[in-house]
Amino acid sequence: MGAFNLETCARSNILALEPYRCARDDYKDDGTNILLDANENAYGPSLTAAAVSTSSTNKSSGPDIDFLGLHRYPDPHQRELKQLLCNLRNTHYHTDKNITPDNLFVGVGSDEAIDGLMRCFCVPGRDKILVCPPTYGMYSVSAQVNDVGLVKVPLLPAPTFELNVAKIKEALSNEPNIKLVYLCSPGNPTGAPLAKGDIQQILEHPTWNGVVIVDEAYVDFSPENASLAEWVTEWPNLAVMQTSSKGFGMAGIRLGSVFTSESIARLLNSMKAPYNIPSPTSALAIYAFSPDGLAVMQANREKIVAQRERLIRGLPKIKGVGRLRGGVESNFLLYELLNKDGQPDNTVALAVYERLAENRGVVVRFRGKEHGCFGCLRITVGTEAEVTRFLESLENTLAEVNDHDVSVPNDEEKKEVAASAVVS
């Protein structure tokens, strides 16, 4: 044996890292489960039926994917794709200025952008980022990977989950070396949008030299013109992240984008791998953001909104379901589950989460360990059939847990499941 010792060779922050986990680490898709855990678009990708069935030899109605050309590296600049993204977000609702492809970085999902911004601005072992829990867990995972400090300023209490602007400004004034502020709007797991005026106050901090990052992963489920993407033409210290995974139902192609100032975009594009967007990903995304793809996205969005409204009407009628926490500007909802005394209860929520998956094949997310989410499950909006099955399954499961005093998980089981619920 050689002298290799992983414990002393690997970076200490990586050895201590808690990896990203999701409900599917515990409950796999066996073909019968309904998956209401990961905020995917249940109605599928923004492709027409004709596009899906089109082969590479008949490109007249579908994405122009040249499978015979895969021996060539993809386009390193993606100008056509970037222009379509600009066309989508140039609403002139927030400013008269236009965003252009020079304002854009596109990467492998939003996760590449989260990591890239950190590597661009934060010196390992010295600098910090600020996050506002409850929020998307990959900000803190990426911070640990990059050996970057983490400052937390929790959101104000539910149901509004607003930014605590005063505390954020205080932290930016007093905490040395905060370089980035990650804000999720609409929030995950809150579903609540952040006020534009609150974000502007942070952008206008008189002494802080850093970048505000607004993660708009769920913005396509918000009212029209909600995106602040075009605002990057007004604020040189603003970056707006978006994804094709949610509203466009293209999670499998792994495409994210950052709208920002031309100077920051230039840095991000200089840092990236030269051919980071595969040709099939680019072709599928270009189609999804074309008029035909946008029509499919909008039709699917209407279906999701209809089922979201159905859940909002139906869940309060189920005994043991408590308050809606947060907002409704996403493709998921955050609800409390109650014990026999009518109080939010993590033990009940955790038991229901487990039994829904194990006994009824319905996978949601337990969020009760996150700030302000005590006793809560996060439920992705599914198809009409999936919502029907979920509502029936939840009612029966809650009856088992509360009315019939079904045993709840022991401490070790609760600890193990809760550990899987830290991020996402």
Q: What is the pLDDT of residues 172-218, one digit of tens each?
A: 999 989 999 999 999 999 999 999 999 999 999 988 999 999 999 99
Is 59 contained in some domain? no
The label of the residue with tokens 């589950």 reads 337
> Which tokens belong to 373?
């989410």
pLDDT-based confidence at 7, cuts 50/70/90? Answer: confident
Helix then strand then coil, % of the chain, to nearest 5:
40, 15, 45
Domain boundary among 237, 255, 289: 289
Helix (H, G, I), strand (E, B) or coil at 191: coil
pLDDT given for residue 419 in this prediction: 44
Domain boundary among 251, 273, 289: 289
Distance (Å) of CA 343 to CA 110, 150, 159, 194, 364: 37, 33, 16, 28, 21
Q: Are residues 313 and 397 in the same domain?
A: yes
Is 192 contained in some domain? yes
As for how many domains the chain has, the answer is: 2
Helix (H), strand (E) at residue 206: none
Separation CA 348–CA 376 (nearest Å): 9
| Strand-strand pairing, 211-215 and 238-243 | parallel
pLDDT given for residue 185 in this prediction: 97
Domain boundary among 259, 289, 319: 289
Q: Are residues 122 and 213 in the same domain?
A: yes
Mean pLDDT of 241-255: 94
Is 1 contained in some domain? no
Q: Are residues 28 and 84 in the same domain?
A: no
Higher-pLDDT residue of 335 and 70 is: 335
Domain membership of residue 159 as a residue range: 71-289
Separation CA 201–CA 181 (nearest Å): 13
What's the distance, Cα to Cα, between the start and end of the chain in Å? 40
| 179 phi and psi angles, rounded to 5 deg | -105, -30
> Which tokens belong to 134?
């409850």
- Taking the CB of residue 92, how many other CB atoms lie within 10 A of it? 10
Q: Are residues 283 and 301 in the same domain?
A: no
Least-confidence region, from 197-201, 396-400, 419-423: 419-423
pLDDT given for residue 56 in this prediction: 41
Say what the pTM is: 0.84
Distance (Å) of CA 6 to CA 10, 12, 14, 377: 6, 10, 11, 38
Question: What per-residue string of b and e applies to 219-231 under the rule 16 or more CB within 10 Å gives b?
Answer: bbbbeeebbbbbb
pLDDT-based confidence at 18, cuts 50/70/90? Answer: low
Is 302 contained in some domain? yes
Separation CA 191–CA 384 (nearest Å): 20
- Taking the CB of residue 100, how many other CB atoms lie within 10 A of it? 15
Q: Are residues 303 and 323 in the same domain?
A: yes
Mean pLDDT of 157-182: 94
* ω into 134 cis (within 30 of 0): yes
Distance (Å) of CA 321 to CA 10, 183, 348: 46, 29, 11
Q: Are residues 27 and 156 in the same domain?
A: no
Nearest residue to 179 (alpha-carbon basis) of 143, 137, 134: 143
Check pLDDT > 90 for residue 397.
yes
Separation CA 51–CA 46 (nearest Å): 10
pLDDT given for residue 229 in this prediction: 97
Tell me the CATH number at 211. 3.40.640.10
Q: Are residues 220 and 111 in the same domain?
A: yes
Mean pLDDT of 152-165: 95
